[in-house]
Amino acid sequence: MNSLLQCTAVTLLPPEALLLLPSAGVDDSGDPEPYVLCELGEHDGPHTEHAAFLRPGRTPDSAAQWFFWTGDGTERAHRIDRAPWCPALLRRLSTDVVRQCSFFDHHTAPHSWDVDDPLGDLVAERLVPDDSPEG
Ligand SMILES: [Zn+2]
Ligand SMILES: [Zn+2]
């Protein structure tokens, strides 16, 4: 199976999106994380929206809220929108476990199970200066 790298786009959430995060108001670390990563597999093109999950709907099956954006810095255009879940399912015959794609319906790029998730490393690389030659 060929898996793709996750998109590396990172953006700063505007205040109205921060308010929607389930952790908003919870101040246990004292360090709120206003950055989100695009969760989709690598995709291209200036008109293809990046997408980051904000919060679930009222039930597991109802539409969740997502942050969509294109561009960066002053060029950025964004919207906060509800999107139904991608209906794609992956059944592993060996275990009979069924996974549902964790992206929204009509997303670009492959389904979530085909995307490698280097999220932790990317966040660390981008937000924490590290000039250690060892990597
Ligand atoms: Zn992206
Ligand atoms: Zn999908």
Q: How far is the CA of 131 from the centre of ligand 1 (A)?
A: 27
Q: Which amino acid does the sequence have at 123?
A: V
pLDDT at 24: 54
| Rounded distance from Cα 130 to ligand 2 centre (Å) | 35
**pLDDT-wise least confident of 6-15, 50-59, 61-70, 122-131:** 122-131
- In this prediction, residue 65 has a pLDDT band, given cuts at 50, 70 and 90, of very high
Strands (E) across 16-134 are located at 35-37, 50-55, 64-70, 77-83, 89-92, 97-100
Could you give phi then psi for residue 49, rounded to 5 degrees? -75, 140
CA 125 to chain CA centroid, nearest Å: 17
The SS3 of residue 114 is: helix
Phi, psi of 79 (to 5 degrees): -150, 150
CA 68 to ligand 1 center in whole angstroms? 9
CA atoms of 54 and 19, how far apart (whole Å): 10
Q: 101 C-alpha vs ligand 2 centroid, how far in Å? A: 5
For residue 128, what pLDDT is reported? 45
CA 49/CA 117 separation, integer angstroms: 19
- 42 CA distance to ligand 1 centroid (A)? 6
The rounded Å distance from CA 125 to ligand 1 centre is 17
**What distance in angstroms lies between residue 39's CA and the mean position of ligand 1's atoms?**
7
Q: Dump pLDDT digits (tens) for 13-51.
A: 998 998 888 765 555 555 556 889 999 999 987 789 999
Which pair of structure tokens corresponds to residue 113?
A: 């199970």
Judged by its nearest atom, the ligand closest to the C-alpha of residue 103 is 2
| Nearest ligand to residue 87 Cα | 2
> Across all residues in the chain, what is the average pLDDT?
81
Judged by its nearest atom, the ligand closest to the C-alpha of residue 44 is: 1
Delimit the domains of the chain by residue range.
Answer: 10-127
